[in-house]
Amino acid sequence: MPQRPRSGEPRRGRPERRGGSRRPARRTGSDPAAPGSMVGTELVLDIGAVAHGGSCVARTEGRVVFVRHTLPGERVRARVTDGTRTSRFLRADAVEVLDASPERRTPACPWSGPGRCGGCDWQHTSAAYGRELKTAVVAEQLRRLAGIDWTGDVEAVPGDEDGLRWRTRVELATGPDGRAGFRAHRSHDVVPVEDCVISVPQVRATGIFTERFEAGITGVDVAVSSDGSATAVLLPHRGEVPGVLESVTAGGTSLDFEVSARGFWQVHPGAAPTFVDEVLRQLAPRPGERVLDLYCGVGLFTRFLAERVGHSGAVLGIEGDERAVSDAQAALREVPQARIERSDVRRAEPLVERHLGGAADLVVLDPPRTGAGREVVQQIARLRPRAVAYVACDPSALARDLAYAADEGYALTSLRAFDAFPMTHHVECIAILVPAERG
């Protein structure tokens, strides 16, 4: 379950750095001076359905326009941010709302909006309506890419308070004036802020939003542990990165993990226990079973699964990121039935042969945003597990991989979606697959 680009997106799968180097400010997309560029052009648009990625869909002269800072049913004046007169589609920001949705509200964050912090997509509505938008996106992606009619709802994660004050880890970059901030949407520009209203109060209490950092400091990460203590790491960091203690209670068991302050951990306090509970409930691991945990990150699922299969079972976690592997190996040092290997997941079969005897009763699959892909899905199917738990942070990649799984004889039996990143377009899904003859 374990992240992503500087615009405040949550970190998934293997840790990735955002804002770790000072690069010249530039806008991605079309060059405004390029021949035929439409950047800066203003259009009056009627806003249609929500789209995957935090925008809504409008049309002009037969072309699709993906418009940020809007809600379905609104009429807005939008300014094009990317595209030319020959582009298949345009991107735009709503700079004036002419006819507002009844779901629109004043953003809790004064730094959200066109040209400002790019971390939140839905500050201009409630967390509850944001979940309705995410539900529509998940359903549309599953229907379009996998032919699956999903009738569920995106669920709030325990501890949600209308989408605010939940984020326990933030990554900021520093601007030319030495102030820390977040990237603007699809940009390297740094937007200084005085607070981040989706982060827990301890982040602001560190003083990172008011401090002026010296030349050479390109960014700062802050991690708040389960006990509420905050650790700040200046970038570039030299030497050993501090560890942060994280505690998780799930499936009737409480376990502690020491995770690097720059490593991966779920940023919503309710996410890790919710996801582990769901995976354990659905897979129902039995003593003596063999389990494969692909893209295992810091070993969260690996360790809980090892508790369930006991000393007569075996759990193999495979992860490609060096820092995550180090954290996972430390967490599992005294759990002999579990083993963590650093490897490309696509080359996991020799490791499965060596440590699990070439078979697996259960598989947990928790890839980064790009998904697992056909090769990995085929590799899993060859093991013929009795059940697979796919933990996904991108509904489009999930839907594609579910279609691949169907080709390999695995059917979807359960899918729940969770709002682990309120105020953003991100959504976490847990899908359960079994051999089709049992589905």
Instruction: Give the residue, 190 or 12, on which the prediction is more confident.
Output: 190
CA distance 31 to 38: 9
Nearest to 393 by CA among 419, 345, 426: 426
DSSP H or E segment with residue 382 = helix 374-383
Instruction: Give the residue, 378 or 15, on which the prediction is more confident.
Output: 378
Structural tokens at position 357: 């005897």
Query: In whole numbers, what is the pLDDT of the chain averaged over residues?
Result: 92
Instruction: Indicate the pLDDT class of residue 24, thresholds 50, 70 and 90.
Output: very low
Tokens 């570039």 found at: 236
pLDDT for 318 beyond 60? yes
For residue 161, tell me if it sits in a domain.
no
C-beta of residue 300 within 8 angstroms of C-beta of residue 247:
no
For residue 90, tell me if it sits in a domain.
yes
If you average pLDDT over residues 82-98, what whole number do you get? Answer: 96
If you average pLDDT over residues 59-64, what whole number do you get? Answer: 94
pLDDT at 161: 83
If you average pLDDT over residues 74-90, what whole number do you get? Answer: 96
pLDDT at 160: 87
- Half-sphere exposure of residue 83: CA atoms within 13 angstroms, side-chain side: 22
Q: What torsion do the CA atoms of 65, 69, 74, 76 make, to the nearest 10 degrees? A: -70
Residue percentage of the chain with pLDDT more than 90 = 88
Residue percentage of the chain with pLDDT more than 70 = 92
Instruction: Indicate the pLDDT class of residue 174, thresholds 50, 70 and 90.
Output: very high
Q: What torsion do the CA atoms of 180, 161, 300, 348 make, to the nearest 10 degrees? A: -80
Radius of gyration of the chain (CA): 22
Strand partners, 42: 79
**What is the extent of the structural domain holding 87?**
31-109
For residue 95, tell me if it sits in a domain.
yes
Instruction: Indicate the pLDDT class of residue 2, thresholds 50, 70 and 90.
Output: very low
Instruction: Indicate the pLDDT class of residue 241, thresholds 50, 70 and 90.
Output: confident
pLDDT for 91 beyond 90? yes
pLDDT for 135 beyond 60? yes
For residue 58, tell me if it sits in a domain.
yes
If you average pLDDT over residues 335-347, what whole number do you get? Answer: 97
- Residue 128 carries which DSSP code? H
Strand partners, 424: none
If you average pLDDT over residues 183-211, what whole number do you get? Answer: 96
**Coil, helix or strand at residue 209:** coil
- Known binding residues are 266, 295, 319, 366
**Coil, helix or strand at residue 109:** coil
For residue 78, tell me if it sits in a domain.
yes
End-to-end CA distance of the chain: 25
For residue 60, tell me if it sits in a domain.
yes
Q: How many CB atoms lie within 10 A of CB 89?
A: 12
Structural tokens at position 17: 């750095």
Q: How many domains does the chain have?
A: 1
If you average pLDDT over residues 86-103, what whole number do you get? Answer: 97
- Known binding residues for S-adenosyl-L-methionine are 266, 295, 319, 366
DSSP H or E segment with residue 246 = strand 243-250
Residue 42 backbone dihedrals phi, psi, to 5 degrees:
-105, 140
* pLDDT tens digits for range 380-400: 999 999 999 999 999 999 999
Tokens 């995550």 found at: 324
pLDDT at 112: 95
Structural tokens at position 365: 């699959």
For residue 333, tell me if it sits in a domain.
no
pLDDT at 34: 74
Instruction: Indicate the pLDDT class of residue 30, thresholds 50, 70 and 90.
Output: low
For residue 86, tell me if it sits in a domain.
yes
CATH code of residue 96: 2.40.50.140
DSSP calls for 39-97:
TT-EEEEE--SB-TTS-EEEEETTEEEEEES--TT-EEEEEEEE-BTT-SEEEEEEEEE
pLDDT for 245 beyond 90? yes
Structural tokens at position 338: 């579990």
Sign of CA dihedral 39, 44, 47, 48: negative
CA distance 435 to 439: 6
Instruction: Indicate the pLDDT class of residue 165, thresholds 50, 70 and 90.
Output: very high
CA distance 327 to 323: 6
Active site residues: 393
Structural tokens at position 389: 């738990």
